[in-house]
Structure 1
């Protein structure tokens, strides 16, 4: 009985093993086969890139460019608003160090005082000189009148006396005429002196006024509404304590936040698909819920190599249609450029596509065939199938177990149309031999 029980137990054990082998679940490879479907509908060729926001229009905020006329080579920024501050037209952005120009102003004011004193002294000298000349002329006129009276009273005197008096009158008249001529010359001389001193005084006064006007510009104000963005100088971004050259006195830039653009870079493989006027859908990394639209307005003709990358890229400018107070320069954008839209197309997932001999593209159909397909445009997820498949057909997105020993069902074209005589011909060696025989 014990032996019989042992045999029964062993038999049951073997039966269980056989049943397990027969009815065990399929292998993981069979269960993990992923299926997809051939779809029809609108197809978009999209290129996705990341970009950076910039203002479409921006104004440079300048320090006093006239300062170099007064031998001021550099400005030091004493105070400056924080970067990113939104300012209105006329509000203060920065205060520049006035020390050097103040020194120039004090020197010029001293020159002005000296020139003013010289002007006043010249005026007094001129008045005294011309007054003396006029007094001399007046005295000489009196002298001529007196000598003429003497001549008139000497009519009954001897001829010699009369002649002597006549000569005396002529001499007095000549002295008077010489005095008048000398006065005219003196007048011209003094006028010239006054013109010279007046011009010098005017020049010094103008310089003083100009320096005072330039000093007012050391308080830098916003020329328009916008956001303050620091510019890069020789030692990095300009900030408090930085020096700005008077030959390039850019203190900051003031972008107009109402019109923005995204600067992005497209690799050389996709740049042929990009054209001006294409629609772009944009998103903001900082505000994922914010959706914007834009348009490609500029495509670079020459590529460039970006840092830490071996691939060549081309700069593309996208103007954003909407205006939003949340938009800020240097924000990162996700750009989806719609390169082309096809209203009615048949397409499959890229995962379903395989290539043989670098020339034949095919898919694995659920019906058990490896079908060659003719491809059209593609995007990051799908590719258009121009021939070889029908909408609704089911295909594998992974390589099925039976695919290794099945030949590709090739396409043939005749006059631009698919030839039905070749649709079901397998690419096996037997069928190829049959075709050669029939030919």
Structure 2
């Protein structure tokens, strides 16, 4: 939507209202015209973000309120976590037991170790016996059959020890794997438990608190809104006007909190994409000088200055009839071509001059 603001006159020419009986008259005058694009919008912080619940549950504590300053990792809310805490305790108990099972005092490993010691002792005896029979067989003091029996016994005790050693290593690997898995389970339970303590990802000011202690919050629901940085103006510009906007253009801002004041600002950024939700393009501006009190979310109206033209011919808008005609002093109805206009003044491109005296139409 286009809005034209017409400011101070460069050349004033006899264009004053003349009261004659009940007929009002005027003539065209020369004024400076400032073309402007209208935009609506609101005030926000440079960085604003919502903190939402990652899990459903009853809120048992919200230690912050609107206006509080928070730092990174500040506690924002706590959700009831009794069941999750018990699950964590169970996981920690399993992990503690698994650590015991992989230690030197593990009953399972101690049992196999004892069997290994016995097998080692038996193999040592069978090796000595085999060596003795081997020497005796060389002297032909024992039969070949007795020698082979001693040899088989020694080989059997060797195989038994190797089997027990393998069993020991397999059992140890299994227990160590169980310990790692239980440690992972503890970490996972801790990560889930963290979701019940909602913290701020960065510093800033609490702008809005949407929930109260004791309320049920669902996963994804917003709990607070945090803002950080300087104030900026978020403006919505129509498709018809966005091509006229440039960074560095001046803006006249009227805040709903200051209905009678206008604040200067400057266009700082033009977002490149069309906003489907707002059905507008979004432009950001910065205050040239901050008002005494600024509040995030304040609604505003803005006029973005797009051009200045000097010494343009204008007449009061109220003297135009049917949008394209004026009535001359001799009662002639003349067609005119208009340019920029607002509720007070309309630019005249052709049809009349400063010498023509106009009569105000009767409503």
Q: How does 1:55-66 map to 2 (within 5 A)?
A: 55=45, 57-61=47-51
Cα distance in structure 2, aligned partners of 1:250 and 1:340: 43
8 Å Cα contact 1:40-1:346 kept in structure 2: yes
Is the partner of 2:240 in helix, strand or coil?
helix
Tell me the secondary structure at the aligned position of residue 342 of structure 1: strand
Q: For residue 336 of structure 1, what is the aligned residue in structure 2?
A: 303
Paired position in structure 2 for 1:40: 30
| Structure 1 stretch displaced more, 279-288 or 120-129 | 279-288
More helix by share: 1
The equivalent of 1:260 in structure 2 is: 232
Secondary structure of residue in 2 paired with 1:328: coil
Give the alignment partner of residue 161 of structure 2, picking from 174, 183, 190: 183
Alignment gaps of 5+ in structure 1: 1-28, 66-72, 232-236, 305-312, 401-439
Matched residue, 2:73: 90
TM-score, length basis structure 2: 0.76
Question: Structure 2 CA distance, aligned partners of 1:302 and 1:209?
Answer: 42
- SS of the equivalent of 1:286 reads coil
Q: Is the 8 A contact 2:252 2:304 kept in 1?
A: yes
Residue pairs, 1:29-428, within 5 angstroms:
33-55=23-45, 57-61=47-51, 74-80=56-62, 81-119=64-102, 120-151=106-137, 155=139, 162-164=141-143, 166-216=144-194, 218-230=196-208, 237-246=210-219, 248=220, 251-258=223-230, 260-264=232-236, 272-275=240-243, 277-278=245-246, 279=249, 280-287=251-258, 289=261, 291-295=263-267, 297-298=270-271, 314-322=279-287, 324=290, 326-355=293-322, 361-365=325-329, 370-391=333-354, 395-399=358-362
Asked if 2 retains the 8 angstrom alpha-carbon contact of 1:282 and 1:294, the reply is: no
Q: Which residue of 2 aligns with 1:309?
A: none
Against the structure 1 CA distance between its residues 46 and 33, is the aligned structure 2 distance closer, same or farther, given a 3 Å change threshold?
farther
**What root-mean-square deviation, in Å, do the aligned CA atoms of Structure 1 and Structure 2 show?**
3.6
Question: RCO (CA 8 Å, sep 6+): is it higher in 1 or 2?
Answer: 2
CA positional deviation for 1:102: 0.2
Contact 1:105 1:212 in 2 (8 A): yes
**Rg larger for:** 1
